[in-house]
Amino acid sequence: MRTANGRPLRRLALLLGAQLLAWLLLLGHPGAAQASLLHFSGEPPADLGLLDGRLRPCPSPAHCARQDWTLADPQAALQQLALQLQATPAVQVETRLDSPQLSYLHATAESQLFGFVDDLELALDPSGTSLQARSESRLGDSDLGVNARRLEQLRLSLDPAS
């Protein structure tokens, strides 16, 4: 079975190694169908939340997005988005939603392949006329536009005509 150059044996070893790796990553991981293959979560930011009624500005647009949405009923929009996020795969709503007057929401979103975690924050503006939105990657220098697209998708879900 072994030739002078050992190629068939090397090929067989590579095939068996690839199969073993696939088994360990996919079958050996509980909930593998829903979970990411890897998990690069990073630490939750210490400065989540509001400061003087406002969400923090983004430190860098390369891995963070921040928007203010002027809406007729920001409270209803926040409730709608809370329910939408709760039903979204790979999104975990961290804020309790049973509060009668929800004014701030924190959720995490995990990418499918590598398991990078982003923090999503939504908050009512103190003026009562807009909803603040912020999404930031915990790790890395660039999110390749993921956070900006996330916010745009959420905004469009509130007003599909835009």
The percentage of residues in the chain with a pLDDT greater than 70, rounded to a whole number, is 76
Specify the pLDDT at position 29: 40
Q: Is the pLDDT of residue 136 over 50?
A: yes
Pairing of strands 54-55, 50-51: antiparallel
pLDDT tens by residue, 15-27: 666 665 554 444 4
**Long-range pairs, 32-39, Cβ under 8 A, ≥24:** 34/89, 34/90, 35/115, 36/90, 36/110, 36/111, 36/112, 36/113, 36/114, 36/115, 37/113, 37/114, 37/115, 38/113, 38/114, 38/115, 39/110, 39/115
Tens of pLDDT, residue by residue over 34-64, are 455 666 788 888 999 999 999 999 999 999 9
Please state, in angstroms and as integers, the Cα–Cα distance from residue 81 to each residue in 42, 72, 93, 154, following that order: 25, 15, 11, 7
Cβ neighbours, 10 Å, residue 45: 13
Residues of the chain with pLDDT > 90: what percent? 57
Report the C-alpha gap between 50 and 53 in whole angstroms. 5
What is the end-to-end Cα distance of the chain in Å, rounded?
66
Task: Give CA–CA dist 141/5, Å, rounded.
Answer: 45
